[in-house]
């Protein structure tokens, strides 16, 4: 069997697997750390806005590649990754210095909120390896495999970014 028939191996696969495990575990561990004396209550609207920008830029990036503008697509996707990393840092900082805010709504809205929140959290963990692997395939010039995985990654990432904004808007009235 010739090596040309074998699929190209992803050059960053081990790093992606490690990051996909380490990031959620680190976030979970850091949630258990509470540091008093600092007020980071200004962060939730900032990281919700970051999620909103990410969602918009993801859509623009897909439009760019569909119109053949690979350079714009690449730039927008790098910005989306940077925004997602910034979101994660700000989110962890906020939760290390602040108690979690309980949702105060009742009735059907409470169930809707928790459905959106839980699906958002689960998919935010799941999307990490998808984003990293999709990006690494583009970096390696493996565009066919990049494109096939991007078709799965895009809707998950868009859902996570969009529901991040929705969760913030739903819980905003209950912040202390």
Please name each of the domains of the chain with its CATH number: 40-174 (1.20.120.80)
Predicted pLDDT at 6:
45
Residue ranges of the chain whose pLDDT lies below 70 = 1-11
3-state secondary structure 150-176: HHHHHHHHHHHHHHHHHHHHHHHHHCC
Q: How far apart are CA 124 and CA 73, in angstroms?
A: 22
pLDDT tens digit string along 50-99?
A: 999 999 999 999 999 999 999 999 999 999 999 999 999 999 999 999 98
Picking from 56, 101, 63, 99, the residue whose alpha carbon sits closest to that of residue 79 is 56
Report the helix count and the strand count for the chain, using DSSP H and E. 5, 0
Predicted pLDDT at 30:
83
Q: How far apart are CA 43 and CA 119, in angstroms?
A: 22
To which residue do tokens 């935010």 refer? 124
Cβ atoms of 158 and 58 closer than 8 Å: yes
108: CB partners within 8 A, 6+ apart:
none
């Amino acid at each position: 069997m010739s090596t040309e028939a074998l699929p190209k191996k992803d050059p960053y696969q081990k790093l992606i697997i490690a990051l996909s495990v380490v990031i959620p575990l680190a976030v979970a561990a850091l949630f258990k750390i509470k540091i008093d004396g600092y007020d980071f209550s200004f962060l939730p609207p900032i990281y919700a806005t970051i999620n909103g920008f990410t969602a918009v830029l993801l859509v623009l990036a897909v439009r760019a590649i569909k119109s053949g503008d690979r350079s714009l697509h690449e730039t927008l996707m790098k910005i989306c990754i940077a925004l997602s990393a910034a979101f994660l840092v700000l989110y962890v900082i906020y939760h290390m210095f602040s108690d979690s805010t309980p949702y105060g709504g009742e009735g059907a809205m409470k169930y809707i909120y928790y459905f959106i929140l839980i699906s958002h959290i689960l998919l935010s963990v799941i999307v990490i390896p998808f984003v990293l692997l999709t990006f690494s395939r583009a970096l390696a010039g493996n565009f066919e495999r990049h494109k096939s995985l991007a078709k799965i990654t895009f809707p998950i990432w868009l859902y996570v970014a969009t529901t991040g904004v929705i969760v913030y808007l739903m819980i905003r009235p209950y912040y202390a």
